[in-house]
């Protein structure tokens, strides 16, 4: 449950959330012009903080925006925000907007980007989902073409994903798979996709490649490392809906979602309809890592 009386870090100062204001002429509000990161906190450790900050600065560079703070400044700012809210577990939202400018698309009228940090609780899916599995659909909303807006830029403009999310909710489920312009599997509205299948007797964990139009997920990369450490072969290749329909197992990964099993897609039951062994092993391994000593690098 969200906390409306949080303390927010805004441009170098800690302020009550009800006083944390963004100017209506900010291009982040007017045009979705900005970048962000969602980051988890476990046992007072900011999970993969340095990795998230690197991606934030890469996203900013890609859209030609100079963040007016260093990575160390922002790491310390996240720490200040957590301490101010007495939060040792939960979620951080770190946003950088283009800043205040004139009406019109020209981003160079914006002199100084605005940066704010929120720390709060988050729960994308009900707790029972992690035990019983999630049902998903395939959305008719196409994933943005990578040549139009690279999905590797974690931008403030999520309307593409929101439209697919609306379609999922209208269908009575919580998540939707998005296809790219070639009809290949990309990712879900907020999560990366993995499937498990057997090839010539070998169990393989597979996920769509970056060129399919996906965000290079931090949790996704962590899970791939955990799989390799467990002796599970990991592959990345182009997938169609058929690959998902015929998979033995399927799960999603994301900072907020963590590792969430999927047991049904478009009305089709995956495997025997329960959480598969590989999914369970990786879910348990991920929980063990973040519970023991969540890495901040």
Q: Where are the beta strands (DSSP E) in 121-166?
A: 134-138
- Closest alpha carbon to 2 in 134, 113, 93, 68: 93
The whole-number mean pLDDT for each consecutive block of 10 residues of the chain, a chain of 297 residues, reads 78 96 97 98 96 98 98 98 96 98 97 97 92 97 93 94 98 97 97 95 96 95 97 97 98 96 98 96 96 86
Place of tokens 């994933």: 143
**pTM for this entry:** 0.94
7-120, CATH topology level: D-amino Acid Aminotransferase; Chain A, domain 1 (3.30.470)
Catalytic residue among 86, 154, 165, 281: 154
CA dist., res. 145 & res. 57, Å (int): 22
Q: What pLDDT was estimated at residue 1?
A: 47
8 Å CB contact between 117 and 43: no
- pLDDT at site 5: 78
Helix (H, G, I), strand (E, B) or coil at 205: strand
Look at residue 3 in the predicted model and tell me its pLDDT.
57
CATH top-level class of 129-293: alpha beta
Residues 6+ apart with CB under 8 A from 285: 226, 229, 230
Other Cβ atoms less than 10 A from the Cβ of 243: the count is 18
Is 198 designated active site?
no
Q: What is the pLDDT of residue 293?
A: 81
Specify the 3-state DSSP secondary structure of 286: helix
- Listed by start position, the domains of the chain span 7-120, 129-293
Q: Residue 29 phi/psi, 5° resolution?
A: -80, -45
């Amino acid at each position: 449950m969200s906390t409306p009386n949080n303390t927010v870090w805004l441009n170098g100062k800690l302020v009550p959330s009800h006083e944390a204001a963004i100017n209506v002429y900010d291009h982040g509000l007017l045009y979705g012009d900005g970048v962000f990161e969602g980051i988890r906190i476990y046992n007072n450790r900011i999970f993969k903080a340095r990795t998230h900050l690197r991606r934030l600065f890469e996203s900013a560079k890609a859209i030609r925006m100079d963040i007016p703070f260093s990575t160390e400044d922002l790491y310390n700012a996240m720490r200040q925000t957590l301490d101010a809210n007495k939060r040792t577990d939960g979620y951080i939202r770190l946003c950088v907007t283009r800043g205040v400018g004139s009406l019109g698309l020209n981003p160079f009228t914006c002199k100084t980007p605005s940066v704010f940090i929120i720390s709060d609780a988050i729960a994308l899916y009900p707790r029972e989902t992690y035990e019983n599995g999630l049902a998903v659909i395939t959305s008719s909303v196409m994933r943005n073409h990578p040549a139009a807006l690279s999905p590797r830029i974690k931008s403030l403009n999520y309307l593409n994903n929101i439209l697919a999310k609306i379609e999922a909710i209208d269908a009575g489920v919580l998540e939707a798979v998005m296809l790219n312009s070639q009809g290949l599997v990309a990712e879900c509205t907020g999560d990366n996709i993995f499937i498990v299948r057997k090839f010539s007797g070998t169990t393989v964990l597979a996920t769509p490649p970056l060129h399919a139009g996906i965000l290079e997920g931090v949790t996704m990369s962590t899970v791939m490392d955990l799989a390799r450490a467990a002796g599970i072969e990991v592959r990345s290749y182009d997938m169609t809906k058929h690959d998902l329909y015929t998979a033995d197992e399927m799960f999603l990964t994301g900072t907020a979602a963590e590792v969430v099993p999927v047991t049904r897609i478009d009305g089709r039951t995956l495997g025997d309809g329960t959480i598969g062994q590989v999914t369970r092993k990786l879910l348990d391994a991920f929980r063990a890592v973040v519970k023991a000593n969540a890495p901040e690098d």
